[in-house]
Amino acid sequence: MAKDLYEEIVELRSKGLRAALATIIATRGATPRKDSAKMLVYEDGRRSGSIGGGFSETEVCRQALITLKTGKPQLLSFDLTGIDHEENALVCGGFMQVYVEPVLPDPVLFILGAGFVSRTVAEAVKPLGFKIAIADDRDELANPEKFPMADRIYLGRWEETFAKLPVNDSSYLFIATRGPALDLLCLRFALQTPARYIGMLGSFNKNRSLFEQLEKEGVSPDQFKRICVPVGFDIGAETAEEIAASMAAELIAVRKNLNIQSVRDAVRRIRNCGTS
């Protein structure tokens, strides 16, 4: 069963899906299952495997869904000494500990635009555990020679490429095309996705006309709060390498479930204090 669960984990991660893995890590006395029994709990409540059934398994499933929301693992303890839980009486007479951990898909950074800054960002982010997907309409740039670190390269007309990108709520997007018209196209697409992160090259003032255009099209200004612009923490980055470093730090913060806007504001205040 454990082997099957591991195969399921590989499959769900490859599909960008999430689940929580519950593992019995300690038992004492009589318990429904012994050490190392495992159960996979999906976002929709489905289960694969079992840790023994009854009240304890029901409670583990409930806590597993909480773990999926918070992204933080939990250690659960169950005293199975006959406590009455209505029809699910725990009468085994033992003790059990269950470790519940989120099984999240590999984070994918979709880089829209295959320029020099994009390549530098890809080089900086790849060692951090992100998969890299490059999208562009220029074959002289969007190719394995220019982006050897890329896990996937999407080449073709932008509208056709957008339809192929498997963006989900665990995805990260970085917009860095060669001009405002393409930036607008990519931004319009990005705001229609559930992407966890949207970063954009260039200052807010430089991109203000893009936001104004989208607002005319009916996009709510509240949507623009999803966009990190300029991309990366405000550390005074100027070179492509510095931009990549500041963006890499920002992506780590998002992956760690930090309040990204609060962190951005705090870094900006610190920098302003240092230059005043």
Would you state the torsion angle of the CA atoms of residues 57, 60, 62, 63, taken in this order, to the nearest 10 degrees?
180
Residue of 170, 189, 51, 200 lying closest to 106 (CA atoms): 170
Per-residue pLDDT at 86: 47
Ordered mean pLDDT values, 10 residues apiece, the chain (276 residues)? 74 85 87 79 92 86 93 89 51 80 92 97 96 97 97 97 93 96 96 96 88 95 93 92 96 90 87 69
- Biggest alpha carbon distance in the chain? 70
98 to each of 21, 39, 88, 200, how far by Cα in Å?
10, 10, 18, 42
Residue type (1 letter), 262: S
What is d(CA 207, CA 201) in angstroms, rounded to the nearest whole number? 9
What is d(CA 172, CA 83) in angstroms, rounded to the nearest whole number? 46
- Residue 265, C-beta contacts closer than 8 angstroms, at least 6 positions apart: none
Q: Per-residue pLDDT tens for 220-255?
A: 999 999 999 999 999 999 999 999 999 999 999 999
Per-residue pLDDT at 92: 57
pTM: predicted TM-score of the whole model, two decimal places:
0.79
Q: Per-residue pLDDT tens for 77-96?
A: 988 775 544 444 445 567 88
- Residue 6, C-beta contacts closer than 8 angstroms, at least 6 positions apart: none
Domain boundaries 108-275, CATH class: alpha beta
What is d(CA 251, CA 49) in angstroms, rounded to the nearest whole number? 34
Q: Per-residue pLDDT tens for 147-168?
A: 999 999 999 999 999 999 999 8
- Where do we find the tokens 């931004």? 187
What is d(CA 115, CA 120) in angstroms, rounded to the nearest whole number? 9
Please list the residue range(s) of the chain that carry CATH number 3.40.50.720. 108-275
Half-sphere exposure at residue 276, Cβ-oriented, CA atoms within 13 angstroms:
6
